[in-house]
């Protein structure tokens, strides 16, 4: 599971991606909160290209299909965004 630092209304982010909750606590500033993140689907892309060699293949695991000189690849576009708030700055321990 990944975590990120978000604004209190969850509309802006200051730290997101491959971070643990402890790393986010170090970099969380102001009134930002730490949220768990989940993948959200934002689109679908298809690429059609001409190939040099003639072949017929269907590779669903690699999201690829070859039909003669034509190669078709597809991909689901995703991004990470806040799922739920797991830590607030008022919970911060004083040092």
Predicted TM-score of the model (pTM): 0.66
Report phi then psi at 61, rounded to 5: -65, -35
pLDDT digits (tens, 9 = 90+) for 9-58: 888 888 888 888 888 888 888 888 999 999 999 999 999 999 888 999 99
β pairing state of 3-6 and 13-19: antiparallel
pLDDT digits (tens, 9 = 90+) for 63-72: 999 999 999 9
At 48 the pLDDT is 96
Rounded Cα–Cα distance for residues 25 and 4 (Å): 9
Count Cβ atoms below 10 Å from residue 20 Cβ, excluding itself: 11
CA dihedral (67, 71, 76, 80) in degrees, to 10, reads 150
């Amino acid at each position: 599971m990944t975590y990120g630092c978000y604004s209190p209304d969850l509309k802006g982010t200051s730290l997101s991606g491959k971070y643990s909750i402890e790393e986010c606590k170090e970099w969380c500033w102001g009134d930002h909160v730490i949220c768990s993140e989940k993948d959200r689907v934002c689109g679908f892309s298809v690429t059609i290209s001409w190939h040099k060699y003639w072949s017929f293949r269907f590779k669903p695991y690699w999201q690829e299909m070859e039909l003669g000189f034509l190669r078709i690849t597809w991909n689901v576009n995703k991004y990470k965004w806040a799922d739920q708030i797991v830590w607030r700055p008022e919970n911060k321990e004083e040092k």
